[in-house]
Structure 1
């Protein structure tokens, strides 16, 4: 695994932790009980991490789709041969609507 892939894998975790910690700190200022603050922080952490992970996957993926229907293939970390093969499959798939 490349170093950049590792960094992209850690980025959503880091951003989620920072945002959750900031929200938890803000909640403690209002006198919210610790258990509710932890629950809110974990919810914020998981939501932000999930959204960031999906955004990074979509940013690094290649999508091939049929021009006449909604058939679509999304590829990540593939070579030029696989990329071309899936591009041809998407263009000539047998299940047009």
Structure 2
């Protein structure tokens, strides 16, 4: 089975590749980027909040204390819990 790689573009920032099934924050770090803030990498600190402007994605478990259900409906997610399903355009939260 072939894993697709998606392009992640940050509004006003860089661009990097992220394999499907890999978290956006980890892919950014691996590529040498530093546009997104890095905290706990575990979904609890809220430091890596971003808003998905374009594209489809899924998320892992996130603290609703850091990203409310209402904010999630507006596209806000934690980059450490963000998995692209196709190319994404994101902005720093």
Give the TM-score normalised by structure 1: 0.23
Give the TM-score normalised by structure 2: 0.23
Greater relative contact order: 1 or 2 (C-alpha under 8 angstroms, separation 6 or more)?
Answer: 2
Higher helix proportion (structure 1 or 2): 1
Higher strand proportion (structure 1 or 2): 2
